[in-house]
Amino acid sequence: MSDALATAISDLEETQALKLVQERLAAGADPVSILASCRDGMALVGKRFEAGEYYISELIMAGELFKQANALLAPHFAAGNGSTKGKVVVGTVKGDIHDIGKDLIVGMLKASGFDVIDLGVDVPSEKFIDAVKTSGAKVVGLSGLITLSFDSMKETITALEAAGLRSKVKVMVGGGSLTEKVREYVGADALGSDAQAAVSLANQWM
């Protein structure tokens, strides 16, 4: 890869990557182009994960690195300049406080150009409804690790239907204990088996 910044990110070279971001900013480079390089690096991280070369620990490292790079870039974006692929509402459902998987998905979606509304953990269905109404998001991601979260996911999707929003959004579910059978039970459109799968689904649906 000819882009040194993208390469540094894909190789998880934190010091080098952040140095390159600062150097390009100091040289007057367009922050949008710098962000594009960061996203290219994250895309390669995703491919390495899919190929079995990287694991969850590497995804977490890459997500943290992207977050740091984005923090350096944020002050240099003009208001309204951050065009995105679309809005995605994500949260760990009511009764579950696990956030590692959810945070991975949020980081990868942001790195892929989506505007993510992160509702946090132990999120009741009404909070998802309010977020969809307020943001106009077309995709909702429900995360849950424990089996008790299954009914909360079903409850949230039922609430989307009751609010007249179900036909306007695509819903993905994810978590270590989820299967296709669980996806059918809760009524989601797709199962995102990992963070990269969630990005692929969001790309398809947008």
Q: Which string of DSSP letters, residue by residue, matches 125-142? A: HHHHHHHHHHH--SEEEE
Of 3.40.50.280, 3.40.140.10, 3.40.640.10, 1.10.260.40, the CATH number of 87-205 is 3.40.50.280
Which entry of 40, 96, 118, 194 is annotated as an active-site residue? 96
Let me know if 96 is a catalytic residue. Answer: yes
pLDDT of residue 78: 53
Distance (Å, whole) CA 195 – CA 206 = 17
Give Cα 137 to chain centroid, integer Å: 13
| Rounded CA separation 16/28 (Å) | 19
With a cut of 50, list the residues of the chain below it in pLDDT: 1, 79-81
- Exactly one of 103, 149, 152, 194 is catalytic; name it: 149
Single out the catalytic residue among 11, 76, 98, 122: 98
Instruction: Provide the residue ranges of all domains of the chain, joining segments of one domain with +.
Output: 4-76, 87-205
Question: What letter represents residue 179's amino acid?
Answer: T
| Inter-residue contact 35 to 6 (CB < 8 Å) | no
User: What is the CATH T-level fold of the domain 4-76, as seen in this structure?
Assistant: 1.10.1240
Please state the pTM of the whole predicted model. 0.72
For residue 103, indicate whether it is catalytic: no
Angstrom distance (rounded) from CA 68 to CA 9: 11
Which strand ranges, in their side-by-side order, compose the sheet holding 87-92? 115-118, 87-92, 139-143, 170-174, 190-191
Please indicate whether residue 98 is annotated as part of the active site. Answer: yes
**72's tokens:** 């350096």
